[in-house]
Structure 1
Amino acid sequence: MSLNLGNWQLDTVNGGMFRLDGGVMFGVVPQQIWKHVAIPDSKNRIQCANHCVLARDGSHTVLVDTGYGGKYALLDRKFYDMEPGEPLLEGLAQLGVLPEAVDCVVFSHLHFDHVGGSMRQDAAKRLSLTFPNAQHVVGRIEWENASSCLPELVTAYSSQEVISLRELTRLRLVEDGEEIVPGLAARLTGGHTEGHLSFMFRSNGQTACYPGDICPSTYHLRRMWHLSYDVLPLETRRNKPRLLAEAADDGWWMLWNHDPTAVVSRVNRDEKREFVAVDSSKTL
């Protein structure tokens, strides 16, 4: 998918398809309901995309999230049915973009499927930066939680990746509303994690929003449909409808992260279903 938004060219790049338990993806929604929109396999897993976004404006080459990368062990890859190799780098190569050309990597949050592709691992298990010339941008609250070593968060974040981001990158911490580069701003949405960010691309009166995991797909447009991983579900239920209402009223494009069929959509208000996706660009 390629979307021209004023000065921005936005391209979706595959960060690696995978499967995740349906109960994880839909939280309190019963399987008897969610199975009608996402068909589970024999292990109760549903297909999830991992759409990263490559954004270019002639001055900057920005990558939003990095997928899970190629360094996970075989058991992990089997558990999540991850794609082999390094899908993100393969996708960038198809667009003619070398890793060295990316000058800014921004993370919605630091879970494995969003940050894993930021590092590569050699045969001796030594880590190196996938994007060696890029500034790496994380929300301040997200970074504080990920690096806190709090016992209740220890399984949410990889200490190896957090340490590597600290030691190997030009790390920049940003606040709610801060402009990262001209025409790209961070928006604190919380919910999924306390410091979860969405990203707003704006140019020539147009807006495209990457909501990240506060609304990971067109299946999650209803207030109560959200991931069981959300650490602050009440925030998700408050902030997601606010974001979607702005998108509907102002005609934003929404860049879905985990939707296995829709890459980008607009959204409309709907009396029965709260919001619906329209004008979707499909994948697969």
Structure 2
Amino acid sequence: MNLHVINTGFFKLDGGAMFGVVPKTLWQKTNPADEKNLCTWAMRCLLIEDGNKLILIDTGIGDKQDDNFLRHYYLHGEDTLIKSIHKAGFSENDITDVILTHLHFDHCGGATVYNKDRTKIEPTFKNAVYWSNEDHWKWASIPNPREKASFLKENIFPLRESGNLEFVGIREETPFRSIDFLFVDGHTDKQMIPLIEYKGKKIVFAADLLPSVGHIPIPYIMAYDTRPLISMQEKELFFTDAISKDYIMFLEHDSVHECCTVQETEKGFRVKDTFKLKEVL
């Protein structure tokens, strides 16, 4: 098995929205904001070579949205999803599977693209099976008012219409030999957290269960989370497992740190170490 970090660029979101009720004087220590109160966030994906499979986890925001949409998020950086896949030595047609942790636009927008004449939206990876789960798909397909702006139909329905969409069974055996899933409900219903077995280590693609190192303290919950009290419970259980089982957390949104480990201190859970993924491969 080989792992490749796939950087797809950066965007900006309001710091208060990203840390909920936590005062700015606290969260800005790890995530400083600009003059508009916006913090920079990564959209970092992961590519896994495992036997005859080439598995991509999440796809970033993509490039099919219009300028009116994208200007709210201040996309920047030289990296894109496709450029990073090519840099890793692969093409779009090589991807066999795409795991979508959840269907918010910054996680699944790159899963679909316009065709050449911009008359139809189709899967970016034509040879790939796209994986969600049935509960989350239903949740995203008929969105609640809180998440409606994050579940965009152009990101979601073309996957089903293409016939490339399949579901991971919540209580069934995983379809991957080296990837298991943790299902969590605090951020959105049945977000899928991939747990990857790699050379005796457990690498966890943390997605929005843990967006950044700055979110490790239990009360540091995004205002985007639909069930914040459940998020806190899920984080506590997850960190307890992470410490006892030596999990390495791969951070999708942290603009500085690719990976981290956690520890329990007198003040609660805190970061232990931060490092690049290549340092543990």
Task: Give TM-score, length-normalised by structure 2.
Answer: 0.92
Residues 1:277 and 1:217: Cα distance change in structure 2 (over 3 Å): farther
What stretches of structure 2 of length at least 5 have no aligned partner? none
CA RMSD of aligned residues (A): 2.0
**Could you tell me which residue of structure 2 aligns to residue 78 of structure 1?**
71
**Could you tell me which residue of structure 2 aligns to residue 148 of structure 1?**
142
Q: Following the alignment from structure 1 to structure 2, what is the Cα–Cα distance between the partners of residues 87 and 13?
A: 8
Between the aligned residues of both structures, percent identity stands at 28
Q: Following the alignment from structure 2 to structure 1, what is the Cα–Cα distance between the partners of residues 117 and 11?
A: 24
- 2:132 aligned residue (138, 144, 147): 138
What stretches of structure 1 of length at least 5 have no aligned partner? 1-7
Residues 81-123 of structure 1: per-residue CA shift (max 9 Å, x gap):
1137870101111111101101000011000000000011245
Q: Following the alignment from structure 1 to structure 2, what is the Cα–Cα distance between the partners of residues 9 and 23?
A: 37
**Could you tell me which residue of structure 2 aligns to residue 5 of structure 1?**
none
Q: Following the alignment from structure 1 to structure 2, what is the Cα–Cα distance between the partners of residues 254 and 61?
A: 21
**Could you tell me which residue of structure 2 aligns to residue 3 of structure 1?**
none
Q: Secondary structure at the match of 2:56?
A: strand
The answer on 1:163 being equivalent to 2:157 is: yes
Task: Give TM-score, length-normalised by structure 1.
Answer: 0.91
Are 2:143 and 2:151, in contact at CA under 8 Å, matched by a contact in 1? no
Q: What is the CA distance between 1:271 and its match in structure 2?
A: 2.1
**Could you tell me which residue of structure 1 aligns to residue 216 of structure 2?**
221
**Could you tell me which residue of structure 1 aligns to residue 93 of structure 2?**
100
Matched ranges for 1:108-257 at <5 A: 108-121=101-114, 122-151=116-145, 153-176=147-170, 178-257=173-252
Q: Which one-letter code corresponds to 1:120 in the other structure?
A: V
Q: Which one-letter code corresponds to 1:38 in the other structure?
A: N
Are 1:189 and 1:198, in contact at CA under 8 Å, matched by a contact in 2? yes
Q: Following the alignment from structure 2 to structure 1, what is the Cα–Cα distance between the partners of residues 76 and 163?
A: 26
Q: Following the alignment from structure 1 to structure 2, what is the Cα–Cα distance between the partners of residues 162 and 204?
A: 34
Residues 12-66 of structure 1: per-residue CA shift (max 9 Å, x gap):
1112210111011111111121112111112111000011010112221100000
Moved more, 79-88 or 38-47: 79-88
Residues 107-142 of structure 1: per-residue CA shift (max 9 Å, x gap):
110000000000112453521211110000002211
Moved more, 44-53 or 264-273: 264-273
The answer on 1:47 being equivalent to 2:48 is: no
Are 1:137 and 1:172, in contact at CA under 8 Å, matched by a contact in 2? yes
Q: Following the alignment from structure 1 to structure 2, what is the Cα–Cα distance between the partners of residues 227 and 11?
A: 28
Aligned residues: 276
Question: Runs of 4+ in structure 1 displaced over 6 angstroms?
Answer: none
Q: Following the alignment from structure 1 to structure 2, what is the Cα–Cα distance between the partners of residues 83 and 165?
A: 27
Residues 158-189 of structure 1: per-residue CA shift (max 9 Å, x gap):
12222112102421112336413101112101
Are 1:218 and 1:277, in contact at CA under 8 Å, matched by a contact in 2? no
Q: Following the alignment from structure 2 to structure 1, what is the Cα–Cα distance between the partners of residues 36 and 198?
A: 44
Residues 196-247 of structure 1: per-residue CA shift (max 9 Å, x gap):
1111111453211112101111111111112111001111100111111211
Residues 1:125 and 1:28: Cα distance change in structure 2 (over 3 Å): farther
Are 1:190 and 1:197, in contact at CA under 8 Å, matched by a contact in 2? no
Q: Following the alignment from structure 1 to structure 2, what is the Cα–Cα distance between the partners of residues 251 and 216?
A: 19
**Could you tell me which residue of structure 2 aligns to residue 14 of structure 1?**
7
Q: Which one-letter code corresponds to 2:89 in the other structure?
A: G
**Could you tell me which residue of structure 2 aligns to residue 68 of structure 1?**
61
Are 2:251 and 2:259, in contact at CA under 8 Å, matched by a contact in 1? yes
Are 2:122 and 2:159, in contact at CA under 8 Å, matched by a contact in 1? no
Q: Following the alignment from structure 2 to structure 1, what is the Cα–Cα distance between the partners of residues 255 and 262?
A: 17
**Could you tell me which residue of structure 1 aligns to residue 271 of structure 2?**
276
Q: Following the alignment from structure 1 to structure 2, what is the Cα–Cα distance between the partners of residues 142 and 119?
A: 18
